[in-house]
A = this chain, B = another copy of it.
Amino acid sequence: MSNPTAAMLVIGDEILSGRTREANAYHLAGRLTQVGIDLREIRVVPDDHAVIVDAITALRGAHAHVFTSGGIGPTHDDITADAVADAFGVGIDVREDARAHLQAAVGAGRTLTDEHLRMARIPHGAALIVNRMSGAPGFSVGNVHVMAGVPEIFVAMLDELLPGLDSGKPVLSRELRFDVGEGRIAAPLRALADEFRTLSVGSYPFRDASGYGTNIVVRGTDIELIDLAIERLEAIRRSVV
């Protein structure tokens, strides 16, 4: 597959301490698969300026897109915007259009506090990612797309962002369930994967009330080829059950 590649960078001590279950990676992964962007890495790092800067620098050099979540609120532990600015070597300031979005969100009559204004600090040269859920915008600098950690806001920002990005062919998949452990089908599966080299053939064992089973997932961009591989798998299934 020659779709553009991407990485996700999740920023937040709360994930690494086990307080919070990470909630945005699964959504992002599914959406990128739909639009034909190949997610190649997810990295979770703490609220540590130098660590975030290093991760952004590494990931943006290796991938067409980097999607971040977390650390863009008003408190002392929200340090993502400054880290992105440093990673690109650009300045960061309160920006008028971001301030206007926050003003609209709090209501025209209210004075914006320092905390509101902190959320209007945007690295120079960025494009805003506005959203229908909150006044505080995300932003893109180059190929780095900075979004909120709160799941509903992350979803809304991604909806806004995705249509404008370079993407490729949607990745399609079909799945077949085997009521045997994966050891029983490993040999024919390996032969199938060797034959259909442009497809990805994944084997996912499970155990439920009725015993061991295996789901086989075939992924690729050519649906006819996927269908052909599934036919072959159905024949394998008839031979083992």
Binds B, one of A29-37, A159-167, A229-237: A29-37
Q: How far is the CA of A17 from the CA of B22 in the complex (A)?
A: 16
Asked if A193 is at the interface of the complex by the 8 Å CB criterion, the answer is yes
Q: How far is the CA of A195 from the CA of B17 in the complex (A)?
A: 22
Q: How far is the CA of A186 from the CA of B79 in the complex (A)?
A: 13
Most chain B CB within 10 A, of A18, A189, A204, A207, is at A18
Asked if A219 is at the interface of the complex by the 8 Å CB criterion, the answer is yes
Q: Is A207's CB under 8 angstroms from B152's CB?
A: yes
Q: Is A18's CB under 8 angstroms from B44's CB?
A: no
Q: Of B16, B150, B193, which contacts A29 at CB under 8 A?
A: B16
Q: Is B18's CB under 8 angstroms from A30's CB?
A: yes
Most chain B CB within 10 A, of A76, A182, A189, is at A76
Chain A residue total in the interface (Cβ 8 A): 66
Asked if A21 is at the interface of the complex by the 8 Å CB criterion, the answer is yes
Point out the residues of chain B lying under 8 angstroms from A194, CB to CB.
76
Contacts of A22-73 to chain B: CB distance below 8 A? 22, 25-33, 39-47, 51, 73
**Interface contacts beyond A16-B39, A119-B183: sample of 11 additional A-B pairs, CB < 8 Å, sorted by A:** A17-B33, A18-B27, A18-B32, A22-B25, A40-B46, A41-B44, A41-B45, A76-B203, A77-B201, A77-B202, A150-B205
Interface residues of A (CB under 8 A from B): 10, 13-22, 25-33, 39-47, 51, 73-78, 113-116, 118-119, 150, 152, 171, 173, 182-187, 189-190, 193-194, 200-207, 217, 219
